[in-house]
Amino acid sequence: MHNFFSNKKLIIIMVVVILVVSMITASLTLGQKKSQPALIHQAANDGLGLIGSVVSAPINGVRDIGDNVHSLFTTYQENRRLKANIDDLAQTKAQINALKKENKELKQLVKLNKTLTDYHQMTASVTSRSPNNWQNYLIINKGALAGVKKDMPVMAGSGLIGRIVEVNQTNSKVSLISTDKSLSNKFAVEVTKEDGTNTSGIIGRYDKEHNLLVMTNVAAPDKIKAGQLVITSGLGGLTPRGLYVGKVVSIKKDDYGLASSIFIKPATDLNNFTVVTVISRDVRHG
């Protein structure tokens, strides 16, 4: 009896398998012959498609979220790299500009030193310049050990900027031509004329608003014109004669029409230099 029921189940399974295979074959055959599948076939396909859409929607959503997070993280990393590159670029540009400026100043000093044939020259760097005394003093990195002495003229760019007023072993203090601290540090200068009758005076003050030197105590202001050169006169006894100071810009008389002030554009930008030349008389020339 038991074997009979077992054989019956086996027969039923075989019949079901045969029917399923037959239905699949018939469906494929009919599907190839007809332009559209049967209604039952369509319903089954639509149901499977709907189920697939429902099942795949959250999966696709999670995948899209993952892709967006990955894209956001990638963008963040790229943004950090770009910012770092911008910072490096800005730093490099600043260094290049500083080197260009220093190179230009050194070229000017080389050109200047070629004209100072009667003097020894030593190049120094500006190491300190206090904002509170910007127009008055600065510190350079050469001192007594390098041969620097008090009252030596100091030049930068194309002309005179000051003189040594204090000497240490490894650095020195420079009083600028624009200083307003002491009359004893003023420079005796003269305006050169074509006829050789130079006009003497002193650098009495500095016009901060227009960045001009003001020559006062002018002995004979006649025939002074804009564009004439101003050099040191050597009359003060501290600075030798013939060092270039600047060019005349304008002449102005006081309210009484008596004394004259000569406004001079400095040969060097007194607010912007980093290297200087300290000069002394060559012993061969006295």
d(CA 116, CA 90): 39
- Please state the φ and ψ torsions of residue 123, each to the nearest 5 degrees: -90, 140
| Mean pLDDT for the stretch of residues 9-32 | 64
What percent of the chain clears pLDDT 90, i.e. is strictly above it? Answer: 21
d(CA 217, CA 191) in angstroms, rounded, equals 12
Q: Round the average pLDDT of the chain to a whole number and report it.
A: 75
Kindly provide the residue ranges of all beta strands, DSSP E only, lying in 4-95, ordered along the sequence.
none
Mean pLDDT, rounded, for 73-83? 76
Q: Which two tokens stand for residue 283?
A: 């012993």
pLDDT digits (tens, 9 = 90+) for 178-198: 887 655 557 889 898 877 778
End-to-end CA distance of the chain: 144
SS3 128: strand
Q: What is the pLDDT of residue 242?
A: 84
Whole-number CA gyration radius for the chain: 46
pLDDT band at 174 (very low <50, low <70, confident <90, very high): very high
User: Is 174 within 8 Å of 213 (Cβ atoms)?
Assistant: no
Segment of 34-48, 70-84, 151-165, 191-205 carrying the highest mean pLDDT:
151-165
32-41, 98-107, 237-246: which has the highest mean pLDDT? 237-246
Spatial CA neighbour of 264 closest among 222, 202, 220: 202
- Partners of 277 in beta bridges: 123, 155
* 8 Å CB contact between 144 and 122: no
Q: What is the largest CA-CA distance in the chain?
A: 150
Residue 274 buriedness (CB in 10 A; 0-12 / 13-18 / 19+): middle
Q: What is the DSSP letter of 146?
A: G
Q: Please compute the mean of the pLDDT values over residues 86-96 and round it to a whole number.
A: 62
